[in-house]
Amino acid sequence: MIPHPIRTPLAFLAAALAFPLAPAQAQEREQNWYQVELLVVAHTNPAAQRAEQWEPLPRLAYPETFRFLLDPQRLRANLERTPDASYSEVDANGKQLIHLRRASSPAALDDAAPPPTTVEASGSTLDGVSDGQGRSPEDSPASGDPAAVTEAPNETRLPTAFLTLPAQAREFRGKAAYMERNGPYRVLFHEVWWQPVDGARSALPIVLDQSGDQQSYPALQGTVRLHRSRFLHVDTQLWLNTSGDYLPGTWRMPPPPLGPVSLERVPAALLPDADADVLSAVTGYDPAWDAAPGLLEEATSTAAPVYPYRHAVLLQQQRRMRSNEVHYIDHPLMGVVIKLTPLDAEALHAAAYNRDVLELISGPQTPAAAVADPAGA
């Protein structure tokens, strides 16, 4: 029997509602799920930088295809920082899409506006017209359709993959704190998440930094990729940006690339011409209101950020692993600690569904779509 991972409720808090699977398909997929804990630290001893002669111009690049981890706090903060946001969702590779509300009319409707049409009086809306919450009907949750809000019998739901767990679920947190407190180490990255680990052909590298969103250079950049064949494997494409004190004179390497962007703000869809004409006649609607002011300025303000470092050192390795074992990838300037713990069907099915997180990932939910939290949260 596959051993159980962490058995505290904390390990289940971050799992939001995902997708239903047929029983046979679910059984196959459940065998590939793992809890992943990844810790990356930097050696802060100045002598470590001079331990070797580093490649002056390392080949630093992000892959063409990749995915992101889902941090609920960051997803929520992105939504809160967007005042004209309607709702949030996440695409298949973890990119957050914040859909913007349709711009409102700058003037109130005149009291002498024509009486409501038959369609308006019946409570219906024109195709593509906002539902009052910034969403058009096709974007709004289904209503009045029981099949859209209830689960089919015998469906098995799996947790949302790549959703980071709370800090209390980190097995290495005590060791990481001890290393920072008593040794020449600095924690650069430490997260825990659940995911299916697939074959090498379908496994995507996971971007660990937010340099693309922040338009600035953190100390650690790059990706890790987990895949399985006969054994589990981890591939690292990580680089540490350094002060370059070991370099001669004032030479510095060209800036490395920034990471991909994990956030996109999506303007409200323009109305079809026919609907726009009707709205214009009835309400004074102006299609220019759909231009989403501010998006163009935001997209064009792309001044290149300053690279505050002189050099970067690459950690590019492939390592074979076994589950339930702690693996350490050593390097003179940094260390990677990783552990993969198999998740059995009981752990997956016991995952708590958090409606707030679910709405950040999948958009607004109908009341019936919110699954009760087994932990009572």
Is 377 domain-assigned?
no
Q: Classify 324 as helix, strand or coil.
A: coil
Q: Which residue has the higher pLDDT, 307 or 24?
A: 307
CB 163 within 8 A of CB 74: no
Is 34 domain-assigned?
yes
Closest Cα partner for 26 from 149, 152, 155? 155
Q: Using one digit for the tens of pLDDT, what is the confidence trace for 14-72? A: 333 344 444 445 555 567 999 999 999 999 988 888 888 999 999 999 999 999 999 99
Average pLDDT over residues 113-133: 40
Is 3 domain-assigned?
no
Average pLDDT over residues 259-286: 73
CB 11 within 8 A of CB 169: yes
Is 274 domain-assigned?
yes
Residues forming a β-bridge with 35: 194, 341
What residue has token string 């899409």?
A: 97
* 26 vs 155: CA distance, rounded Å: 9
Is 154 domain-assigned?
yes
Average of per-residue pLDDT values in the chain? 77
Looking at residue 121, the DSSP 8-state letter turns out to be H
Q: For position 57, what pLDDT does the model report?
A: 96
Q: Report percent pLDDT > 70 for the chain.
A: 64
Q: Which residue has the higher pLDDT, 76 or 290?
A: 76
CB 347 within 8 A of CB 9: no
Most confident of 1-15, 265-279, 314-328: 314-328
Q: Using one digit for the tens of pLDDT, what is the confidence trace for 249-268? A: 999 999 999 999 999 999 98
Q: Classify 110 as helix, strand or coil.
A: coil
Is 1 domain-assigned?
no
Q: Number of folded domains in the chain?
A: 1
Give the tokens for residue 194: 């659940």
Q: Using one digit for the tens of pLDDT, what is the confidence trace for 167-224? A: 999 999 999 999 999 989 999 999 999 999 999 999 999 999 999 999 999 999 999 9
Show the domain range for 183: 9-369
Output the pTM of the full model. 0.73
Q: For position 67, what pLDDT does the model report?
A: 98
Q: Which residue has the higher pLDDT, 132 or 345?
A: 345
Assign residue 132 a region (left: φ > 0; alpha: ψ between -120 and 50; beta: otherwise): left
Any residues with CB less than 8 A from the CB of 180 and at least 6 apart, and which?
41, 186, 187
Q: Which residue has the higher pLDDT, 163 or 134?
A: 163
Q: Classify 249 as helix, strand or coil.
A: coil
Give the tokens for residue 257: 């690339």
Residues forming a β-bridge with 316: 237
Is 319 domain-assigned?
yes
